[in-house]
Amino acid sequence: MPELNSSLPTLPENPSLFTRLQVGLQALKVLQAEPTNPAYGALFYDSVEIGLCAALARDFSRHEEGRRLLAEKPSLRSSALDLDALEKLPPGSLGHTFARYFRDQGLTPIDTLSPPKNDAQYVATRLRETHDFHHMVTGYTTDVMGEMELQAFTLGNLHLRTSLLILLQSAKATRMMPGFNWAWYARRLWAAFRRGSQSRQLASFRWEDHWATPLTLLCEQLVAPAQQWN
């Protein structure tokens, strides 16, 4: 893995489109060899999404929930979470389910390596840190199909370019698989996209205020019903 030091490209504040593309391409080259590299993953995400995240930050400033989020900038990075304490919350609560989600799969929450420098970078960080919460409230699994459904949901809900890029890359790969049912796959993704567009916008939701809330209640409040498949 490349060392996480001064060799890591950085994005200046208010970068131009050319700078974003240049840095994004540098990050992508590393990710092609090291797809789980957290520093370059975050850098690629920021390069692609910083314009949208700036727009989301401006939108946050127009309502109380968003203003509070920007003012306090709470973090859901791994080092800020106590999974042992969350697991002691009542079964079925968001906190208990969150802790079991990671323990059962042998995973750890994402860890942000550097603090955001402005509101747009904070929103980008927040979107990365809340990815697994979206899995939980939508019910989409963490296998390949579930991940693609969540990307389609996120595209409908937040219009993220990274989700579109991932879906396009997946489409290229699946098209080459012998016997793959492309029509079935496309229907699943379209249903997830529509569900995302019909759901509450999740970017500004303050998950850490709801650790003790039943997950089923949050699902009802935040996301449209899922289409049932045979």
**Which one has a higher pLDDT value, 106 or 204?**
204
pTM: predicted TM-score of the whole model, two decimal places: 0.85
Kind and range of the H or E run holding 204:
none
**Residue 110 to residue 128: CA distance in whole angstroms:** 8
Task: Determine contact, residues 67/116, Cβ cutoff 8 Å.
Answer: no
Give me the residue spans of the domains in the chain.
1-75, 130-230
**Quick one: pLDDT at residue 2?**
39
Is a pLDDT exceeding 50 seen at residue 174? yes
**Number of helices and strands (H, E) in the chain?**
11, 0
Task: Determine contact, residues 137/223, Cβ cutoff 8 Å.
Answer: yes
Q: What's the length of the chain? A: 230
**Quick one: pLDDT at residue 137?**
97
Residues 6 or more apart whose CB falls under 8 angstroms from that of 123 comprise 53, 54, 56, 57, 60, 203
- Residue 32 confidence class, pLDDT cut points 50, 70, 90: low
Q: 33-53, pLDDT tens digit by residue?
A: 776 677 787 788 778 888 899
**Residue 53 to residue 116: CA distance in whole angstroms:** 12
Share of the chain above pLDDT 90, in %: 49
**Residue 221 to residue 104: CA distance in whole angstroms:** 26
**Residue 17 to residue 23: CA distance in whole angstroms:** 10
Q: 99-139, pLDDT tens digit by residue?
A: 999 998 887 887 776 788 889 889 988 998 898 999 999 99
- The mean pLDDT of the chain is 86
Share of the chain above pLDDT 70, in %: 93
Burial label for 195, CB within 10 Å (0-12, 13-18, 19+), is buried
- Residue 229 confidence class, pLDDT cut points 50, 70, 90: low
- Residue 11 confidence class, pLDDT cut points 50, 70, 90: confident
Place of tokens 């131009």: 16
Which of 119, 22, 165 shows the shortest CA–CA distance to 9? 22
